[in-house]
Chains A and B, each alone.
Chain A
Amino acid sequence: MSVDVKEIIRPENIVYKKSSALTDNPMHYCPGCTHGVVNRLLAEVIEELGIQEDTIGVTPVGCAVLLYNYIDIDWQEAAHGRAPALGTAIKRVRPDKYVFTYQGDGDLAAIGTAETIHTCNRGENIVMVFINNGIYGMTGGQMAPTTLEGMKTATCPYGRDPKRDGMPLKITEIVAGLPGASYVTRQAAHTANAVRKLKKALIKAFKNQEAGKGTSFIEVVATCNSGWKLTPVDANKWMEEHMFPYYPLGDIKDE
Chain B
Amino acid sequence: MKEIRLMKGNEAIAEAAIRCGVDAYFGYPITPQSEVMETLMDLRPWESTGMEVLQAESEVASINMVYGGAACGKKVMTSSSSPGISLMQEGLTYLAGAELPCLVVNVVRGGPGLGTIQPAQSDYFQAVKGGGHGDYKLIVLAPASVQEMADFVELAFDLAFKYRNPAMILSDGMIGQMMEKVELKAFKPRWTNDEIAQMHPWATTGKPKNRKRNIITSVELDPLKFEAFNIKLQAKYKAIEEAEVRYEKIMCDDAEYLFVAYGSSARICRKAVEILREKGIKAGLLRPITLFPFPSNQLKELQPQLKGILAVELSMGQMVEDVRLSVDSKLKVEHFGRAGGAIFSPEEVAEALEAKIIGG
Residues of A within 8 A of B (CB): 52-56, 58-59, 65-66, 68, 72-79, 82, 85-90, 92-94, 96-97, 114-115, 118
> Is B57's CB under 8 angstroms from A76's CB?
no
Q: Within B233-273, which residues are at the interface with A (CB < 8 Å)?
A: none
B161 contacts the other chain (CB 8 A) = no
Residues from chain B with Cβ under 8 Å of A115 in the complex: 57, 60-61, 64
> Is A73's CB under 8 angstroms from B213's CB?
yes
Interface size on B, as a range, is 35 or more
Q: Which 7 A-B pairs have the closest CB atoms?
A: A89-B68, A86-B68, A77-B217, A85-B64, A82-B64, A89-B65, A74-B204
> Is B57's CB under 8 angstroms from A114's CB?
yes
> Is A88's CB under 8 angstroms from B65's CB?
yes
B4 contacts the other chain (CB 8 A) = no
Interchain CA distance A101-B58 in the complex, whole Å: 19
Interchain CA distance A89-B209 in the complex, whole Å: 24
> Is B94's CB under 8 angstroms from A87's CB?
no
Residues from chain A with Cβ under 8 Å of B359 in the complex: none
> Is A72's CB under 8 angstroms from B204's CB?
no
Given contacts A65-B219, A79-B91, are A118 and B61 in contact (CB under 8 A)? Answer: yes
> Is A75's CB under 8 angstroms from B65's CB?
no
Residues from chain B with Cβ under 8 Å of A75 in the complex: 204, 213-217
Closest to B74 in A: A93
Q: Within B187-212, which residues are at the interface with A (CB < 8 Å)?
A: 193, 204-209
In the complex, which of the residues A77, A86, A88 contacts B218, with contact meaning CB atoms closer than 8 Å? A77
Closest to B66 in A: A89
Residues from chain B with Cβ under 8 Å of A65 in the complex: 219
B275 contacts the other chain (CB 8 A) = no
Residues from chain B with Cβ under 8 Å of A94 in the complex: 72, 193, 205-206
> Is A86's CB under 8 angstroms from B215's CB?
no
Residues from chain A with Cβ under 8 Å of B90 in the complex: 79
Interchain CA distance A56-B204 in the complex, whole Å: 7
In the complex, which of the residues B68, B74, B76, B205 contacts A74, with contact meaning CB atoms closer than 8 Å? B205
Given contacts A82-B64, A94-B193, are A77 and B209 in contact (CB under 8 A)? Answer: no
> Is B71's CB under 8 angstroms from A86's CB?
yes
Given contacts A89-B26, A93-B52, are A82 and B72 in contact (CB under 8 A)? Answer: no
Interchain CA distance A87-B71 in the complex, whole Å: 11
> Is B219's CB under 8 angstroms from A74's CB?
no
Residues from chain A with Cβ under 8 Å of B209 in the complex: 53
> Is B207's CB under 8 angstroms from A90's CB?
no
Given contacts A68-B215, A118-B57, are A89 and B67 in contact (CB under 8 A)? Answer: yes
CB distance from A112 to the nearest CB of B (A): 9
CB distance from B53 to the nearest CB of A (A): 10
> Is A77's CB under 8 angstroms from B91's CB?
no
Interchain CA distance A90-B70 in the complex, whole Å: 9
> Is B67's CB under 8 angstroms from A56's CB?
no
Interchain CA distance A182-B260 in the complex, whole Å: 58
CB distance from A64 to the nearest CB of B (A): 12
Closest to B46 in A: A92
B56 contacts the other chain (CB 8 A) = yes
Given contacts A92-B24, A93-B74, are A76 and B64 in contact (CB under 8 A)? Answer: no
